[in-house]
Amino acid sequence: MKKVACLHGHHSNVALLDDAFSQWKVELAHYVDPGLLLQSANSQPPTRAEAEAKLDSQLSWMQASTPDAIVITCTQYAATLTSEHESERDIPIFTIDGPFLEEAARRSGKQTILFTNPATVKPTMDRLWQQAAMHRFTPQISIHLIDGAFSLIMENKRQAYQEILWETMLTLSHEDSILSVAQLSMAPAARQFRQEKGIFISDPLQSLTDKMVQTLPLSPASF
């Protein structure tokens, strides 16, 4: 059985990972630290160097438990990850939006990517454009930030958060553009929307699960 250490910026992500990997033989160890999110909400957010140092400390702490892989589910922490962080460790490090960004960079046609956390928009899109440039793709992407939504999830108002996401997806689904949600906290609403409306909408959790099953690899759980 594989062991995976997961770094979260909010405790609500724990259940999402547990549910996503419940059908696979894997042991998930969860580490929750909202420090970077809380600091970024202040008038003086951490510098890039401070954020990288904090992440390095967290990765070292997690690797001490000898996992087979590390997953970073917070998009702000994911944007802080450097090649040095990865090269210093002999295990794979997956970010919640890494596989998702690869898919978005390669996708043809118009796309609209939804965000709720304004602090993640620029670093996430910077990484997406880097992916596109690396492979010489030219995706057609527009961004939609759902104002006021992120404070709801940080205040544990999950129902209100889900409702505002649903209303936004329902409105934008009538446009001629493929919808995607960029953050893990948005994945449950995207999945429910796919199931009930029969409309494709991409989310990072599904992309991450598919990638890890292939890469580690993971075996199906026995029930």
| Structural domains for the chain | 2-96+207-215 (3.40.50.1860), 99-203 (3.40.50.1860)
Percent of the chain past pLDDT 90, that is, above it, reads: 67
- Tokens read off for 19: 């549910």
**Which positions ≥6 away from 84 have C-beta within 8 Å?**
none
pLDDT digit string (tens) for 115-152? 999 988 998 999 999 989 988 999 999 999 999 999 99
**Which positions ≥6 away from 173 have C-beta within 8 Å?**
179, 193, 197, 199, 201
pTM confidence score: 0.83
Q: What is the DSSP letter of 116?
A: S
pLDDT at 14: 94
Mean pLDDT, rounded, for 172-178: 92
Give the number of other CB atoms < 10 A from CB of residue 90: 7
pLDDT digit string (tens) for 198-207? 999 999 999 9
Residue 111: beta bridge partners?
Answer: 141, 178
